[in-house]
Amino acid sequence: MSQPEITRCNPPELHVPVDNLYTHVVSVQGGRLHRIGGMVAVDQAGANIAVGDMAGQIRACYEQVTTALAAVGCGWDNVIHIYTFTTDMDAYLVAEREIASSYLGDSPPASTLVQVSRLVEADWLVEVQVDAVG
């Protein structure tokens, strides 16, 4: 199977993406779509990790997404949309700036970021889901 063609653009009529952590429009030609379900800060046994630590939970979620992407032969450059749910937007935004760019690189995906009142487990501060094509 040939590699998909992924095109990212930020139309000049739209605002410049905040901190270059997302792209307004991502188009795909070819390839296979992979939907990676919501990843949260739990270890392989299902125990909560980084409790109370927003940065630690973001890293844990991104590492789990990395593992899931690898399982289907993809990496972060194959991600076309990232969906993030957090229980504390202010804390998330502070921590994200330090962490996200090391995963998302210079060609970030489209992005959705939402604050929710809580996630399934009260100790979870972040949940990350991605769509990738490969």
Q: Where are the domains of the chain?
A: 5-133
Using DSSP's 3-state secondary structure scheme, residue 4 falls into coil
pTM for this model (two decimals): 0.92
Q: What is the pLDDT of residue 1?
A: 58
Distances (CA, A) of 44 to 20, 41, 49: 32, 10, 10
* CATH class held by domain 5-133: alpha beta
Q: How many residues does the chain have?
A: 134
Provide the pLDDT confidence category of residue 52 given band limits of 50, 70 and 90: very high
Does the pLDDT value for residue 19 go beyond 90?
no
Q: What is the dihedral of CA 94, 130, 108, 57, to 10 degrees?
A: 20
**Are 109 and 26 contacting, i.e. CB atoms less than 8 angstroms apart?**
yes
**Angle at which helices 54-71 and 89-104 pack, to 10 degrees?**
40
